[in-house]
Structure 1
Amino acid sequence: LTPPYMLSFLFFLGLQRFMGFGALWATVQPVDKLLCVESWWTNLLYINNLKPVIQQCMTFTWYLAADMQFHIISPLMIIPFY
């Protein structure tokens, strides 16, 4: 899951400026890119959903982080029932 996720992250970071248009695009895109440059490591470690939404890069990937966190914690919850 991580290689395609990071590939899409690099695509988002590198080509996002060419993908949009509109009246507010010139003001929104630099802010998005700055957030991604500052917090790329939270996406790599799947802890980006622990930050406030306004500080997240690629906010639509919150579910991947939550899913990975549940995947890591679930054995600790299942083993006592075994």
Structure 2
Amino acid sequence: MKYIETQTLPSLGHAEVRIIAHTPEAARAVAEVLRGCFAGAEQRSYPGLDGDTRLHLTVDTATPAGPARPWLAAGQTPVGAGAHSDET
């Protein structure tokens, strides 16, 4: 049986992003890229169970922080950006 975690949704116009990386530096690098596209990034970092780093980020999807990528501005999903097999 697969456990599905119940979470409170972020406020309208915001998204919660979860980053899992082998090192804190790698997680921070990804967070910096997201901050270049979206405003209002609240960041929380946690140690993972296997020594990895888990970084949680809240971004404001209604207010671009910088020049939006063409796929973002057009409201399209980039190629290869579907759900992972462990996501429902």
Does the pair score TM above 0.5?
no
Which structure is higher in RCO with an 8 Å CA cutoff and minimum separation 6? 2
Instruction: Select the structure that is richer in helix.
Output: 1
User: TM-score, normalised to structure 2's length?
Assistant: 0.26
User: TM-score, normalised to structure 1's length?
Assistant: 0.27
Instruction: Select the structure that is richer in strand.
Output: 2
